[in-house]
Amino acid sequence: MPTQLSESGVDLGSAQLRFLRKPKIAVVMDTPVNSGDYGTIWHTFEQRLDMPFTPLRAESLGGVDLRQYNVIILRVTVRTAADTWRALDPKRAEEWVKAGGSADRQYAAARSTRRRRSPG
């Protein structure tokens, strides 16, 4: 007899199924974030994914109510990441993460411009 139950794993509608929260995304912009990197993030979210986000200026992070967001994207260089994240106030940032916030710190790596010589 045919059934709608899964042959393995969790069935749809099961009490074991967890629902996803709708992301409320903030993307940090302006110095120290490279405008090209921000543009790539903007294009991906707005044009390709049709997913809304709020741009936040790095200099104003200290005054932002983080409870409005459950995801913060911070694309910076390794050298500037700690200073920018610290602008949030470490205690506030820690409380936000403990409450379920997710911080995505993406580091822009410098590319080597040296050419390798071929053997011989």
CA terminus-to-terminus distance, the chain = 71
In the chain, the largest separation of any two C-alpha atoms, in whole Å, equals: 71
Helices (H) and strands (E) in the chain — how many of each? 3, 4
Nearest to 56 by CA among 28, 24, 30, 88: 28
Span 44-49, average pLDDT? 92
Q: What is the pLDDT of residues 4-20, one digit of tens each?
A: 777 777 777 777 777 77
Break the chain into its structural domains and give their ranges. Answer: 25-107
Residue type, 41: I
SS3 58: helix
CATH class for domain 25-107?
A: alpha beta
Q: Is the pTM above the cut of 0.85?
A: no
Report the candidate in 65, 57, 70, 62 with the shortest Cα–Cα distance to residue 25: 70
